[in-house]
Structure 1
Amino acid sequence: MATRRTRPAPRPPEGTPPRQELARQARRVLADAVRVAHWAAEHRGRVTEPTSATERERAAAALDLTPAQVRVAWDRARLAGLVELHGDTARPGWRLRAWDSDDSAALRGWVALLDAWSLAHPAPRGAEPAAVAEVVEAVPQVLSLLQLSAGPVHVPALLDLLGQRVAELREQRCEVPYDALQDAPARPEPAGADGQGVRAGLRDWALDGLASVGALTLGDGHATLTPLGNWAVWVKLEQICVAAQSPAGHIEQSAEDMLRGCVRLTPGPARDEYRAWLAARPAGSAVTELVAVARGDDALLRGLAFEALRVVGAAAETEVRAAAAEPALRPYALLWLAEHDGADPDEAAEVLTREEATWLWVDTAAAVVDHGESDLLVRHLESAVQGTVPALLDEVRAVGHPRTVQVLVALAAAHPDPALAKALRRAAFQVHTGGA
């Protein structure tokens, strides 16, 4: 078993509101985005992007908004995952369906908007893209300072910090400082500015952008983190700590290699590893990678991939529902969906048909054959839903799992009862030759 170096996770900031209250605040920030997303979904029975002036005017009239507010709300709906683009069409995202009932959906949607603040609040016209990217990269340090200050901070101090951080980033890249925004609208540089060419207009844009998505408030020359912003910084720090506790090398590995590294871990440490791996990458790409591993030939990795998808939670629902259409993944997907919908894990198997349960039994046996011990394989025989070995063999032969022969041969070799072992070998021979 891999050794682990544990570090204490950061504690939530003192005075952080309960999760339910934070979710209410997130819903308020994205209220217009949710309304526009619902309107677009119901307007023609599918999500219709209000891109034309006519569509925006119709949405504005229906929702008591201005056309400009509709455009902003639609952009936020896309950035927050309330709607998902699939080629030329858009569909309601899982967060929109779960918005009112799942606090996690609201909070994750808001964090996605925060992560995309520079898209939700476009940079000044004429801004040099490289300079914009530098300011965006420097913003996390500003948020950290605001959290450490635990109260209002003078805006000039934050602007100065932004400039200093940009200068550090350039120095780390061995770049020559330059004035990147000669044409951008800007006020004169304040005394003591860093002189590295990041105009105050662009730095003001960063603070205004964070305020526009509800991460901070601006007033009387001060900036203050909102409860949501304070919580978001803590979440990011927690993710860093979780990632730091991963067994060495797993975070940077592919999903398949990460899951192989978890084969010998007990369930608790394995879940910690899944969380660390997931914290280091976008949820969408992580889910896609895990499902791709589940489609492979290794039955054990297939099961572990769905265990990791349980850690992902609701963000994996769309891809898991799609996976239910694939015979090899269907039993795993149906169990995942049943548990996601609130079924007790011990009773979730009731959603499977007899054929699906038998296919899953063979697939699990294949995982034991490849990675387990012979006594575990014998115990697995006792877990079959059929109740008797003859009934099991009849249904196993009919289910058509590609590993049926190997499983039956391995069972025959492992089972201590000679008569039963003979029956298993006969069944394996019949499947192999196509006989009855």
Structure 2
Amino acid sequence: ARLAGLVEVHGDSARPGWRLRAWDRDDSAVLRGWVALFDAWSLALPEPEAHEPAAVAEAVSAMPQVLSFLQLSAGPVPVEQLLDLLQQRVTELRTERCEVSYEPGTEPPVEAAAEPTGTPDAPPASLAPLLDWALEALASVGALTCDAGQATLTPLGSWAVWVKLEQICVAAQSPAGNIEQSAEDMLRGCAQLRPNAARAEYRAWLAARTVGGAVSELIDAARGEDALLRGLAFEALRVVGAPAEPDVRAVVDEPTLRPYALLWLAEHDGLDPEDAHEVLTREEATWLWVDTAAAVADHGEAPMLVRHLESAVQPTVPRLLDEVRAVGHPRTVQVLVALAAAHPDPALAKAVRRAAFQVHTGG
């Protein structure tokens, strides 16, 4: 239940996980919960004690290829055949790490003899217990069945493997090449993309990571000083969807993230994006206006900043300036100075400069 996200364990106590609350109303949450369990199959049963952790790790790393073979076979496969495949994949993994092994009766080069860098290939027999453990663990989470020396993916297991393969394909289609970047660098790379292209990039970046890790990275990026990245991070979280809900709800009390989180949650709950701003108080909407203006001032052009005035909830510029001064956003002075420099109306620009000076001097 913990691996599937149905319960959270804290010390000696347990409490309902977010998936448990969504279980009865969201079929996709049920499937995602099972995929989380499938992803954690190696934790479902204790690993064999007689094997070194490195050998167990190799077996776990090799199992995706075994599962892909089972999925392509679309039927029972002899365990002996899977054992051969596991051995081949483990050998490939060792070769990729440059662990060179030598055939009996041959002498290694002098350099290698002086400093051995490899280990002998494990014979298939020694991998058999690890394969048995892996198959039993996968069977325990409902991904496959084992009978009469043959393994068969269940329909659910076949679907999960297909989902993983599809994610790999999505990740491979990263149009702007940001898939290996950190969340912050990825968002910067998406700043100049059109919305559809940016969403495709978000999907590719997310497909290459665990959901929990990706969501944490995006929220950390949103906590930074760059307001543009804050907005883009929550756009990427919209692509994540329901799995991001607990983390977004957890930051509602952080002043910097609160307006963005409230809008995200409102849209997630089914409110039309055009009406979502109604969930914000006047003060929260004003704070968001200043934060968005900071993003425009840092990364946009002067006409964009002037047009941004139209999005304010206040009916007049004097009212806007009064409430902007009161809201206490750390970038208020810079935003007002930039707006005064950009606005073509000299009288309005003078009023905005005066407001910036008053904020700067604490008035």
TM-score (norm 2): 0.89
| Structure 2 residue corresponding to 1:421, chosen from 335, 338, 349 | 349
**C-alpha RMSD of the superposition:** 2.1
Residue 74 of structure 1 corresponds to none
1:293, 1:168 → 2: CA distance?
37
Shift in Å, 1:89? 4.9
2:12, 2:292 → 1: CA distance?
40
Residue 164 of structure 2 corresponds to 236
Contact 2:227 2:294 in 1 (8 A): yes
1:375, 1:114 → 2: CA distance?
51
| Structure 2 residue corresponding to 1:246, chosen from 174, 191, 195 | 174
Matched letter for residue 309 of structure 1: L
2:240, 2:15 → 1: CA distance?
21
Q: Does 2:221 align with 1:313?
A: no
Q: Which runs of 5+ in 1 are unaligned?
A: 1-76, 178-193
| Structure 2 residue corresponding to 1:153, chosen from 48, 53, 77 | 77
| Structure 2 residue corresponding to 1:400, chosen from 309, 322, 328 | 328
State how 1:109-188 maps to structure 2 within 5 Å.
109-173=33-97, 174=99, 176=101
Residues 303/89 of structure 1: CA separation in 2 closer, same or farther (3 Å cut): farther
Residue 107 of structure 2 corresponds to none
| Structure 2 residue corresponding to 1:386, chosen from 314, 324, 336 | 314
Residue 105 of structure 1 corresponds to 29
1:370, 1:158 → 2: CA distance?
56
| Structure 1 residue corresponding to 2:210, chosen from 268, 282, 291 | 282
Shift in Å, 1:248? 5.3
Q: Deviations over 1:232-290 (max 9, x none)?
A: 11111111111111145522211111111111011111111111112222222222221
Residue 7 of structure 2 corresponds to 83
2:329, 2:350 → 1: CA distance?
21
Contact 2:83 2:124 in 1 (8 A): no
Three-state SS of the structure 1 residue aligned to 2:146 is: strand
- Count of paired positions: 344
Q: Does 2:227 align with 1:299?
A: yes
Contact 2:84 2:124 in 1 (8 A): no
Comparing 79-88 with 299-308, greater Cα deviation is found at: 79-88
Contact 2:175 2:200 in 1 (8 A): no
State how 1:205-244 maps to structure 2 within 5 Å.
205-244=133-172
Q: Does 2:250 align with 1:332?
A: no
Matched letter for residue 204 of structure 1: D
Q: Deviations over 1:270-328 (max 9, x none)?
A: 11111111222222222222111111111111111111111122222222122111111
Q: Does 2:347 align with 1:347?
A: no
2:93, 2:124 → 1: CA distance?
11
1:89, 1:274 → 2: CA distance?
36
| Structure 1 residue corresponding to 2:126, chosen from 180, 194, 198 | 198
Contact 1:167 1:196 in 2 (8 A): no
Three-state SS of the structure 2 residue aligned to 1:317 is: helix
Shift in Å, 1:399? 0.7
1:87, 1:332 → 2: CA distance?
32
Comparing 243-252 with 227-236, greater Cα deviation is found at: 243-252
2:14, 2:194 → 1: CA distance?
41
| Structure 2 residue corresponding to 1:377, chosen from 305, 315, 338 | 305
State how 1:57-72 maps to structure 2 within 5 Å.
none
Contact 2:215 2:247 in 1 (8 A): yes
Higher relative contact order (CA 8 A, sep 6+): 1
Matched letter for residue 304 of structure 1: L
Shift in Å, 1:176? 4.4
Matched letter for residue 386 of structure 1: Q
Residue 55 of structure 1 corresponds to none
Shift in Å, 1:365? 0.6
Shift in Å, 1:175? 5.3
Identity in percent? 79
Shift in Å, 1:395? 0.8
Contact 2:176 2:189 in 1 (8 A): no
Three-state SS of the structure 1 residue aligned to 2:325 is: helix
Shift in Å, 1:419? 1.9
